[in-house]
Structure 1
Amino acid sequence: MPIQGTQIKQADSTHYLSPKGEYDTFRDDDHYKEKLKEWGLSSAKDAKKEFWYKDRQSQRIVTIKGYESYGNTGEFNTLVIEFQDGNISCIHPAYLKEMQQGSFGKESMLTIEEKEITAETDSTLVEKETVKETPRKAAAPKQAKAKEPKPKKEKAPKLELPVDKVHFTATVKQFALTYNPFNEENDEVVVLENVQIVDENPLDLGLAWCSHSKTLKKFELAPGDSLEFDGKVAAKKLAKGKDVEEEFLVDAPVIYKVNNPSKIEKK
């Protein structure tokens, strides 16, 4: 539903952050709803189309035109929003979500966090100064015991993940639930095994996960199904669901996520 109310237009006071270049847009309504849920901006059946953009001097209506991806594997997003006068700007999803609250502007969560960090820093400095001022008796030097070096654990080599879309083959391992801090609910995901990037130099990922979107639900997947699809991969660990049954937990760490699978074929 459109946002009701008076919109205060003070475009000259708004500081616009233009996208760096081309940005991702939404494939369809289902993709739009899925991304809104991921960002914690809307989990309703009818996804919101309009949002409030607020600052100290203005309150304006914006729509989300798309998003930019950043990070080593593009696992993080910055929203691209459009104002009613046609101007576009970039904003972090969590900050836009905060703007939808009626209390926004009085003291934002970001300001509170900065104050808490400052208070902790000041407290630490006071404790250090107190320790310096308190005289202590000189203690006899102790002979340090030689510690035996602990054997270092060999880490598995870090895979270099492709940035662009690639072709995958995989098998459905199970369905699981993961906690989403944005909407404070558990989201259903599909856990894949035997995941391989099919290329001139094939790359085995082992386990990976992806959102159980409406697109995937149309295939009525079951454990053991073989799949082929296109998509992007990011290093993002699957978080455990909150207060869920054992059947929705995974017995091994899953550290890769497949984003936006398309051209799906069920074998």
Structure 2
Amino acid sequence: MVTLRPHIEQTGLTTYIPPKGDFEVFRDDDHYREKLKEWGLSSAKEAKREFWYKDRHVQRLVTIKGYETYGNSGEFNTLVIGFQDGQLSCIHPAYLKEMQQSSFGKESMLTLGDKESVPVSERGTGKESVAAAAPVEAKASSKKEKAAKAAKPKKEKIPKLELPAEKVHFTAKVKQFALVYNPFNEENDEVVVLEEAQIVQEPPLELGFAWCSHSKTLKKFELAPGDVLEFDGKVAAKKLAKGKDVPEEFIIDVPVLYKVNNPSKIAKK
């Protein structure tokens, strides 16, 4: 049986949203697989290289060339995809994931009320609304739950730090390992919890507790609690969520409010 690939249609049938200048590219195959797993696009050992891009005209095969970051602290990603005619465009990872489903087009969780009011390439890039740009959040709690929460005394707010948007140098100590629930693959992912995390600058910026994915790169260092690390990376204000059915040794008992993305140039003292 021969599978026919769709021909490359004329550029005018697809609205492209090109990246804004430079964008993040993948360091290597391990980094590519790690990001695909994070976006819920592939968890296989041999990571997918081609994905379907669908709109109301045709289907096209695309590859992921890299990603942009956005949000107050760069904690969200927009994919940069490449078409077979060399064109680049941006799309939200959750929207590209939807396009891989055979039922796509009948009803999309990210589609606006008026489907034709926003070109398909713009959906999920932040151009139409904040609600469509981010993954679908859980439904709001009931009025009764809201009333109960309102009755509780307000906790003292932790002052927000002015986080740098660019990559910076860190020092930190490994506190422990923890598990965080990944809704894309419906499994717990192992992460590294750091303490005494500090951005090296003048004056130093104290983060306290932070976390990062326990990537294959980090696993090569065979980390253990108490290890002191130096590395480069980007920091985002992203609280460490709890995992499901977590063993006691992976339970974290302190608030961890900052995530370090893509640590590199790692050194263990």
TM class, shorter-length: 0.7 to 0.9
1:216 aligns to what?
Answer: 218
2:190 aligns to what?
Answer: 188
- Could you tell me how far 1:66 is from its partner in structure 2? 0.6
2:79 aligns to what?
Answer: 79
Instruction: Give the SS at the match of 2:43.
Output: coil
CA displacement, residues 128-156 of structure 1 (integer Å, 9 cap, x when unaligned): xxxxxxxxxxxxxxxxxxxxxx9875423
Query: Counterparts of 1:168-187 in structure 2 under 5 Å?
Result: 168-187=170-189
Contact 1:9 1:58 in 2 (8 A): no
1:6 aligns to what?
Answer: 5
2:55 aligns to what?
Answer: 55
Contact 2:8 2:85 in 1 (8 A): no
Contact 2:196 2:209 in 1 (8 A): yes
Residue 49 (structure 2) pairs with residue 15 (structure 1): no
Residue 247 (structure 2) pairs with residue 248 (structure 1): no
Alignment counterpart, residue 259 of structure 1, candidates 258, 261, 265: 261
Q: TM-score, normalised by structure 2?
A: 0.81
Instruction: Give the SS at the match of 1:182.
Output: coil
2:146 aligns to what?
Answer: none
Q: Distance in 2 between matches of 1:61 and 1:228?
A: 40
- Sequence identity percentage: 78
Count of aligned residue pairs for this structure pair: 230
1:109 aligns to what?
Answer: 109
- Could you tell me how far 1:52 is from its partner in structure 2? 0.3
**Structure 1 unaligned blocks of 5 or more:** 118-149
Contact 2:194 2:211 in 1 (8 A): yes
Contact 2:19 2:80 in 1 (8 A): yes
User: Which AA in structure 2 matches 1:80?
Assistant: V
1:227 aligns to what?
Answer: 229
Q: Distance in 2 between matches of 1:14 and 1:105?
A: 16
Q: TM-score, normalised by structure 1?
A: 0.82
Alignment counterpart, residue 162 of structure 1, candidates 161, 164, 185: 164
Instruction: Give the SS at the match of 1:172.
Output: strand
Aligned CA distance change for structure 1 residues 28 and 152 (closer, same or farther; 3 Å): closer
User: Which AA in structure 2 matches 1:76?
Assistant: F
2:147 aligns to what?
Answer: none
Q: Distance in 2 between matches of 1:265 and 1:82?
A: 35
Instruction: Give the SS at the match of 1:204.
Output: strand
Indicate the structure (1 or 2) with the bigger Cα radius of gyration: 1
Q: Distance in 2 between matches of 1:41 and 1:152?
A: 39
Aligned-pair Cα RMSD in Å: 1.9
Aligned CA distance change for structure 1 residues 152 and 81 (closer, same or farther; 3 Å): closer
Q: Distance in 2 between matches of 1:105 and 1:167?
A: 45
**Structure 2 unaligned blocks of 5 or more:** 115-130, 132-151
